[in-house]
Amino acid sequence: MSKNLGDLSRRKGLENNLFEQLGISASQTGTVDAAEVDRIADEFLMGKANIYGSVTFYDFLRPQNQGKKAYVCNGSSCLSAGTQGAVKAELGKHFKDEEIGEMCCLGRCHENKSFHIGGHNYSGDAINQVADIVAGTQNPQDKYNVACLGNQVLTGVFPGIDAYYSLLKDVLKSSPDDLLNELKTSGLRGRGGAGFPIAFKLESCKNTNDTQKFIVCNADEGDPGAYSDRYLLEQQPHSVLLGMIIAGYITGATAGVVYIRGEYPEAVEITQQAINDIHAAGYLGENILGSGFNYQFKVIKAQGAYICGEETALLSSIEGQRPEVRVRPPYPTQIGLFNKPTVVNNVETLASIPYIIKNTGAQYASFGKGRSTGTKLVSLDGFFKKPGIYEVDMGTPLSTVINELGGGFRQAVKAMHIGGPLGGLVPVAKINDLSIDFESFAQNGFLLGHASVVCIPEEFPIIEYVRHLFEFTAHESCGKCFPCRLGSTRGAEMVTKALETDYKMDRTLLNDLLETMEVGSLCALGGGLPLPIKNALQYFDAELKAYFA
């Protein structure tokens, strides 16, 4: 069925995109009403049930979102910082209770107190200027530290469009095979968490024959605590765009889709403007630079669903379907967006391509550690004295990032959740054992993931954080597989019962639940959640044992 729906959605192409139409229809009231569901179903030849199923899935389309005018961030970093109760109280002076909703992580983790009004994000001291924000006189821009220790791949100064895109002239004179070999030599691996070599994906797509192919940038950076993708899209968008153009030339794709989470409205605007600029400069469109190569971009604004960070769910989302995870094989490089060969990669991964092509794969591979080559962006939250985005060579000691770049903690911290909600829960005692690379984290029982760091202060109960993780997964599950959909809900119920009554959890039962989710889940959402909870049980047993029989 989903394959047929993908073909139907392809009828009108990317320009008249079904998913985008749902967002437009919800923009005035916060949801898509029944009459609009009927109209869209007729226009796109979709069943009304299919359209209704999509509408009711997303946070910013579902009926419960109707009438919302302000949103409070409920991400992990703001939760552990303990700032959001006061934020909601202040917003309550200007909005009715039913006009205030929630968004999961606005990427303002460096200063917390995050909220959203009128299509823009705010944080920090901005909560004291809500009246000015409502009146439209407050600037939503934020500032955070950006620095590099080691080789600078992603954080350099942009030299201007013509100077930067001069590389494209050389690319279009090269053979796709030669460019692909440079990426193979570089060892570049996916920076979104999985660490899968990008050259494998590009080669698979290149070798799949079809009349249409796509490059999709997964900018649905939903990991609470992570804002490195937001940094790239807002401050270095051309590295991402040029990386996608080069990937398109290698594979034979003629269209790039930048799927940006709705919680990053500024990133959507800035990326679209960057696309307009390079189109005007002659680096996009038909027969680019007289090479015979055609390429266009489409920016898609997401509507609030963490599961869309999973590549197959993201593709279903662009098609206007419910973003359910697809069974693989076939892989997206064979049957992807609109059932056409598609490469999906994370923002940071694609942004690394121009450096590699310009400076050779061998140079990129020369820095890093083992199979973790190149550099990595690290996001530090507001518990650091110098929070911000830091670029470091793979293999840099975690202690260097925390103490030298981040300036150490500004208050007592007992753990760091590194790599998003599915990443490892790292006790501070393990800091000296880890370095910023895939292997170090895996060998120590953690996950590098996005390399986002959310600190948990001494006074924050670990059991509350465990409940937060279960509840997050239950809310964000696509619902397709039982272990994730039911396991996360049962886990949240179990922990809540232990917190609010004299019930004591059975550790064997909890371990069985975690194993079922880990082994049986269709994707990394249900399969990855057990990792931080197992870390909590291992390293904070003394704090948690009161809740177990």
* CATH, residue 432: 3.10.20.600
Its domain, for residue 50, covers 2-65
Residue 254 lies in a domain: yes
Are 199 and 335 within one domain?
yes
Q: Are 12 and 320 in contact (CB under 8 A)?
A: no
Are 321 and 236 within one domain?
yes
Residue 141 lies in a domain: no
Are 468 and 439 within one domain?
no
Are 208 and 314 within one domain?
yes
Are 178 and 319 within one domain?
yes
Q: Which pLDDT score is estimated for 10?
A: 87
- Predicted confidence (pLDDT) per residue in 373-416, tens digit: 999 999 999 999 999 999 999 999 999 999 999 999 999 999 99
- Predicted confidence (pLDDT) per residue in 57-77, tens digit: 999 999 999 999 999 999 999
Q: Are 30 and 60 in contact (CB under 8 A)?
A: yes
Are 341 and 203 within one domain?
yes
Residue 140 lies in a domain: no
Q: Are 31 and 66 in contact (CB under 8 A)?
A: yes
Are 46 and 105 within one domain?
no
* CATH, residue 503: 1.20.1440.230
Are 100 and 119 within one domain?
yes
What residues contact 170, with CB distance under 8 A and at least 6 apart? none
Would you say residue 114 has pLDDT above 90? yes
Q: Which pLDDT score is estimated for 195?
A: 82
Are 232 and 247 within one domain?
yes
**CA 309 – CA 268 distance, rounded (Å):** 16
The rounded mean pLDDT for the chain is 95
Residue 509 lies in a domain: yes
Mean pLDDT of 330-340: 96
Would you say residue 139 has pLDDT above 80? no
> Which domain-ending residue is among 26, 50, 65?
65
Task: Let me know how long the chain is.
Answer: 549
Radius of gyration of the chain measured on its C-alpha atoms: 23
**CA 499 → CA 376, 433, 462, 465, 546, distances in Å?**
38, 33, 11, 12, 10
Are 286 and 163 within one domain?
yes
**CA 44 – CA 249 distance, rounded (Å):** 31
Q: Are 383 and 409 in contact (CB under 8 A)?
A: yes
Mean pLDDT of 295-313: 96
**Residues forming a β-bridge with 257:** 216, 298
Would you say residue 422 has pLDDT above 70? yes
Q: Are 273 and 315 in contact (CB under 8 A)?
A: no
Token pair for 392: 């470091």
Helix (H, G, I), strand (E, B) or coil at 226: coil
* CATH, residue 257: 3.40.50.11540
**Residues forming a β-bridge with 418:** 424, 453
Would you say residue 2 has pLDDT above 70? no
Are 248 and 396 within one domain?
no
Residue 114 lies in a domain: yes
Would you say residue 1 has pLDDT above 60? no
Are 183 and 328 within one domain?
yes
How large a percentage of the chain has pLDDT more than 90?
Answer: 94
Residue 142 lies in a domain: no
**CA 454 – CA 29 distance, rounded (Å):** 34
> Which domain-ending residue is among 457, 481, 514?
457
> Which domain-ending residue is among 12, 31, 65?
65
Would you say residue 334 has pLDDT above 80? yes
Domains identified in the chain, total number = 5
Would you say residue 426 has pLDDT above 80? yes
Q: At residue 112, what are phi and psi to the nearest 5 degrees?
A: 60, -160
Mean pLDDT of 34-55: 95
Residue 336 has what DSSP assignment? -
Please choose, from the candidates 267, 318, 270, the residue with its C-alpha nearest in 3D space to the C-alpha of residue 58.
318
